[in-house]
Amino acid sequence: MDIRCRKTTCKFNDRYTCKAREILIKKSLECSQFVKTDKPVDDKTKKIFSNTPPVYAPQRDSATIVIDCKAHCLFNQDGKCVANGITLNDLKEKPLCVTFLRE
């Protein structure tokens, strides 16, 4: 599963890939696992077409992470995310799931 996160101020963010053991997306679409790091990284994905493209960490196997979801989303099946991948954005104080499709 492709788990991309642009919240570069999170301690679980490794080159735009989430390394948390589990993720819970709240009804508000916020990732509840967000933990602010002391070492923020510049978000190069905002300038994806510049001279130096971002370096991404390898994708994670979906068996290595549990993604729970409380949002009213098309991909929410009995509280588990069944999307092929999720993307978390850096729009607010906490990262938001932008893979969300209203049920």
pLDDT for 77: 96
Q: What is the pLDDT of residues 9-19, one digit of tens each?
A: 999 998 888 88
Q: Which of 42, 31, 29, 34 is nearest to 12 (CA)?
A: 34
Compute CA distances 58 → 18, 51, 61, 71, 87, whole Å. 10, 22, 10, 27, 15
Q: Specify the pLDDT at position 56.
A: 81
Q: Regarding predicted confidence, which is higher, 9 or 41?
A: 9
Does the structure show a pLDDT above 90 at 46? Answer: no
Count Cα atoms within 13 angstroms, Cβ side, for 10: 28
More confident residue, 3 or 69: 69
Backbone torsions φ then ψ of 61, nearest 5 degrees: -75, 135
Question: Given pLDDT bands bounded at 50, 70 and 90, which one contains residue 35?
Answer: very high
CA distance 8 to 83: 22
